[in-house]
Structure 1
Amino acid sequence: MLSAAIFSAFLAGSAAAETCIAPQPPFVPGDPEAAREYSDIIRNDFELYIRDIEQYFRCLDDERARAFQEAREVSAAYGRFLEMIAP
């Protein structure tokens, strides 16, 4: 019974973890003529990248905070476990 409760708590904590995926940097052609021809598309790609990298940084900050909280909770649970099995 206790192992089932621990397993459930583990799954609940793991499910809360967020996957942060970094955006791909925009492609800029080496050919100046091609860069000029596609400048609107390339400019838009840069703007999207800047928006997405800001979201990525926020995601990393949120995940870091979540992981620290989880680590505190696991550390406290470990302390309770050690007290429980102490002779």
Structure 2
Amino acid sequence: MRITIVRGFTVLLIAVCSQAGAETCLAPARPFVPSDPAAAKEYEDLIRLDFENYIDEVQDYFRCMEGERARAFTEAQEVSQENGRFVQEMAE
């Protein structure tokens, strides 16, 4: 019974701690282009700026996603090693 409680606490602690380090990467919204050619022409400058901003933001998003992937991979390796040590300690 005691081992089950300790294992449950350990899993909960790892879950809470891992969430604290995670980064949230939010994809940018797609630029809006009116279906009416006259409206598109009227707002051409704003639409062009929206596309430029989107390209900048999506590059930031890709960098964020790559950073989060690398962080999660490292964390998974650490957790796997911790699990191995924990299993060994419990077997003793």
Runs of 4+ aligned residues of structure 1 deviating over 4 Å after TM superposition are none
TM-score, structure 2 length as denominator?
0.82
1:86 is the counterpart of 2:54: no
Structure 1, unmatched stretches of 5+, are: none
> How far does residue 64 in structure 1 lie from its aligned partner after superposition?
0.1
Mapped to 1, the partners of 2:90 and 2:33 lie a distance apart of 62
Structure 2, unmatched stretches of 5+, are: 1-5
List aligned pairs for 1:18-57, cutoff 5 A: 18-57=23-62
1:14 is the counterpart of 2:19: yes
> How far does residue 13 in structure 1 lie from its aligned partner after superposition?
2.8
The one-letter amino acid paired with 1:77 is: E
Among candidates 64, 71, 78, match of residue 69 of structure 2? 64
TM-score, structure 1 length as denominator?
0.87
Q: How many residues align?
A: 84
The one-letter amino acid paired with 2:35 is: G
